[in-house]
């Protein structure tokens, strides 16, 4: 396939793009920093510095949309929320506008989303048919998905990637946790009862390839491992993997004023199951957290 990808130099993209190349696909990668594309991904990839330069004669068999400003890291001020929204919505709009005017439409459009779609739902088991609890994370995901869905009217197969917490090397939510836990300073966050729905990056990439190739799969998919864990279990498993204790919890009363609304990323609970991928007979490489962490930290 000839594939256009946004977010190709990001945490997931840096693993996905080599896998796509290895599978024989041809990649064009959009980036605000096109000079870095070949440095990061190699000379086999074609950089693109503006989606607006795409013309109606440009042709792609598939589009993968992973672009978006990082959710973690900065406090969710009103200004930051707008950055998070527009970095996702605007690029998705540009891609749909390209699809609308393209003489030859792509066969499939894989567009990013997140399990934040469901909001904070405690112990409730959530699959792709579950409704959501309103908060900013859900608003972000709903608007993102709605923009991508507009490509349907052009006959394009849409797959929405409701991604959980991705465990991989050299990035993602795990990276800033490793040093404190290595120093024995890790522990649960808040009560530790909130659910964490995770996925190993190898499974995330493999699912993306499966969705590209299986024309019967469309709609929303939860990209999470089959066995989510509570935050307390996650902290203890990470500590055990690093052969360190986990006895320094971070109380909710500290996190909430420190992080503001963004604290819900850490204290909110989403117990998500990847029902649709399991129904499609996808075989997860990593179903248990200890194996996933062990591979990332030591393989």
pLDDT digits (tens, 9 = 90+) for 238-291: 999 999 998 888 888 777 877 788 778 888 999 999 999 999 999 999 999 999
What pLDDT is recorded for position 8?
95
DSSP secondary structure of 63-97: EEE-----SSSS---HHHHHHHHHHHHHHHHHHHH
Q: How far apart are CA 88 and CA 85, in angstroms?
A: 6
The whole-model pTM stands at: 0.95
292 CA to centre of own chain: 17
What pLDDT is recorded for position 33?
84
What pLDDT is recorded for position 149?
98
Q: How far apart are CA 136 and CA 141, in angstroms?
A: 9
Each residue's pLDDT tens digit, 119-163: 999 999 999 999 988 889 999 999 999 999 999 999 999 999 999
Greatest distance between any 2 Cα atoms in the chain: 60
Average pLDDT over residues 217-233: 98
Domain harbouring 42, CATH code:
3.40.50.720
Using left for φ > 0, alpha for ψ between -120 and 50, and beta otherwise, residue 143 falls in: alpha
In 10 A of CB 127, how many CB atoms?
Answer: 15
DSSP structure class, residue 250: B
Q: How far apart are CA 283 and CA 107, in angstroms?
A: 25
What pLDDT is recorded for position 134?
84
What pLDDT is recorded for position 266?
86
pLDDT at 70 over 90: no
Average pLDDT over residues 52-56: 92
Residue 299's pLDDT band (boundaries 50, 70, 90)?
confident
Each residue's pLDDT tens digit, 42-51: 999 999 999 9
Range of the domain at 257: 2-298
Distances (CA, A) of 82 to 3, 30, 78, 140: 29, 21, 6, 10
pLDDT at 74 over 90: no
What pLDDT is recorded for position 86?
94
Counting the structural domains of the chain, the total is 1
Each residue's pLDDT tens digit, 166-221: 999 988 999 989 999 999 999 999 999 999 999 999 999 999 999 999 999 999 99
The answer to whether residues 267 and 194 touch, using CB atoms and an 8 Å cutoff, is yes
pLDDT at 35 over 90: no
What pLDDT is recorded for position 250?
87
pLDDT at 230 over 90: yes
What pLDDT is recorded for position 132?
86
In 10 A of CB 151, how many CB atoms?
Answer: 25
């Amino acid at each position: 396939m000839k594939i256009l990808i946004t977010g190709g130099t990001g945490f997931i993209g840096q693993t996905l793009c080599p896998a796509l190349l290895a599978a024989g696909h041809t990649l064009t990668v959009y980036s605000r920093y096109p000079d870095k594309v070949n440095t990061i991904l190699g000379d086999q990839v074609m950089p693109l510095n503006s989606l607006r330069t795409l013309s109606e004669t440009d042709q792609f068999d598939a589009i993968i949309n992973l672009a978006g400003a990082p959710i973690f890291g900065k406090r969710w001020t009103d200004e930051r929320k707008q950055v998070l929204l527009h970095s996702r919505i605007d690029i998705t709009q540009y891609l749909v506008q390209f699809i609308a005017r393209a003489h030859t439409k792509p066969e499939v459009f894989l567009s990013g989303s997140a399990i934040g779609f469901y909001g904070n739902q405690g112990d409730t088991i959530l699959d792709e048919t579950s409704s959501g609890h309103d908060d900013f994370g859900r608003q972000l995901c709903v608007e993102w998905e709605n923009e991508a869905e507009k490509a349907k009217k052009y006959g394009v197969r849409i797959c929405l990637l409701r991604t959980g917490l991705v465990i991989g090397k050299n990035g993602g939510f795990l990276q800033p946790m490793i040093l404190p836990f290595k120093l024995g300073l890790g522990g649960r966050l808040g009560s530790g009862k909130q659910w964490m729905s995770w996925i190993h990056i190898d499974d995330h990439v493999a699912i993306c390839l499966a969705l590209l190739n299986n024309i019967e799969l469309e709609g929303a998919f939860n990209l999470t491992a089959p066995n989510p864990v509570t935050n307390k279990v996650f902290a203890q498993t990470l500590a055990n993997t690093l052969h360190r204790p986990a006895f320094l919890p971070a109380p909710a009363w500290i996190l909430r004023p420190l992080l503001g609304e963004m604290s819900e990323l850490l204290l909110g609970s989403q117990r998500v199951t990847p029902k649709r991928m399991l129904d499609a007979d996808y075989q997860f490489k990593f179903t248990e957290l200890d194996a996933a962490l062990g591979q990332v930290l030591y393989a």
